[in-house]
Amino acid sequence: MLERAAGALGLPLAGGQIDRLLRYVDLVHDRNRRVNLVSRRDTDRLVSYHLPDSLAAVRFVRPGDRVADIGSGAGLPGIPLAVACPEAEMLLVESSGKKCRFMEAAIASLGLTNARVLNARSEELEPLGCRLVFSRVTGPLDRVLRQLHGHRDPGGTIVFYKSVGWEEAFNRARPVLERLGLAVGSSVEVELPMAGIRRCFVIVEQQVAT
């Protein structure tokens, strides 16, 4: 099922990558019995929704990229992206200690050498200098933009996981975008194969001088 979903997203995964992703699902289920990492509804949707949703962003990652997943939680989308993009460096930023300990254990169990956990709030960290910064976090967009923009390298990009109708929030945040020297460059809409949900990736980039 996961292999078919990845194929529908145009992402051919090797057998070892599929095995690692399913091992990650098992690790979440096992730890969630003792520590509340994700909701029961989310554990039931890991394969049908969360993994394809995470993997849909592979299209933005290039070999050699330094990538940050801000607010990684239990490792989504950062750990699936690290599995699918072994030649990119993945930084998983999360403020919850229990979630960070789970991610560190999962990374070790999966044998991932390209992923590192940072137990901190994004605004407390020194600039990470990433070409890509991913965010699935919710909250006031103006605040989230201020927290994320400093972790881009000078030509870096922020990729927001959003739903249909995202335009209104970004229009309201235009003054903050302009103060930060940022602009919405484009958006990419993807239908997640098993869930039938439309995911909108909103790409925020350095504002082009006119």
Q: Is 142 exposed, middle or buried (0-12, 13-18, 19+ CB in 10 A)?
A: middle
What pLDDT, on the 0 to 100 scale, is given for residue 109? 97
Is 210 a residue whose pLDDT tops 70?
Answer: no
Topology of the domain comprising 2-206: Rossmann fold (3.40.50)
Domain locations in the chain as residue ranges: 2-206
User: For 54-74, how does the pLDDT look when each residue is reduced to its tens digit (9 = 90+)?
Assistant: 999 999 999 999 999 999 999
What pLDDT, on the 0 to 100 scale, is given for residue 100? 97
d(CA 67, CA 39) in angstroms, rounded, equals 26
Classify the phi-psi angles of 64: left when phi > 0, otherwise alpha if psi is within -120 to 50, otherwise beta.
left
What pLDDT, on the 0 to 100 scale, is given for residue 124? 93
Say how many C-beta atoms besides its own lie within 10 A of residue 178's C-beta. Answer: 11
User: For 81-103, how does the pLDDT look when each residue is reduced to its tens digit (9 = 90+)?
Assistant: 999 999 999 999 999 999 999 99
